């Protein structure tokens, strides 16, 4: 008989019930988490943890890339930025480059904050239209 981990169950439910916008926000937050862990691993000299965490950040950037709607002009610009972030993550991993991780951390933080603001604006708009405000 398996014992359910309540935290794992909560996480799974959060992902299963999230809107596409919320999922994107989760991806940005996860990417930031792995970038920070990658920086800590470089500072600690832990090559395995550095590699693992930076690759996890790269995987998230790849996921963001494949979800872009390339029929929209802004998506082409985002693709270029995601490609740049991915290349900087590779550099950081190969060269133990904390500065490269800090650079991409700044970019991903800006994207996350902008996305969070869009979600909040959409929620406010939905509540206003439904007469709940």
pLDDT digit string (tens) for 6-27?
656 655 655 566 788 899 999 9
pTM for this entry: 0.83
- 111 contacts: CB under 8 Å, gap ≥ 6: 28, 81
Residues of the chain with pLDDT under 70: 1-3, 6-17, 130-133
Q: Which two tokens stand for residue 37?
A: 């862990």
- On whether the CB atoms of residues 64 and 89 are closer than 8 A, the answer is no
Yes or no: say if 42 and 101 are a contact pair by the CB < 8 Å rule.
yes
Q: How far apart are CA 112 and CA 36, in angstroms?
A: 15
Q: φ and ψ at 69, to 5 degrees?
A: -90, 100
């Amino acid at each position: 008989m398996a014992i359910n981990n309540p935290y794992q169950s909560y996480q799974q439910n959060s992902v299963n019930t999230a809107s596409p916008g919320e999922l994107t926000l989760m991806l940005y937050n996860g990417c930031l988490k792995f970038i920070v862990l990658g920086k800590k691993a470089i500072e600690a000299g832990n090559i395995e943890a550095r590699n693992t965490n930076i690759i996890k950040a790269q995987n998230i950037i790849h996921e963001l890339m494949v979800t872009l709607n390339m029929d929209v002009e802004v998506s082409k610009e985002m693709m270029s930025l995601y490609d740049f972030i991915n290349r900087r993550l590779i550099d950081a991993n190969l060269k133990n480059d904390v500065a490269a991780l800090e650079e991409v951390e700044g970019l991903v933080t800006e994207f996350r904050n902008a996305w969070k603001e869009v979600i909040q604006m959409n929620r406010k708009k939905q509540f206003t239209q439904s007469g709940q405000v």
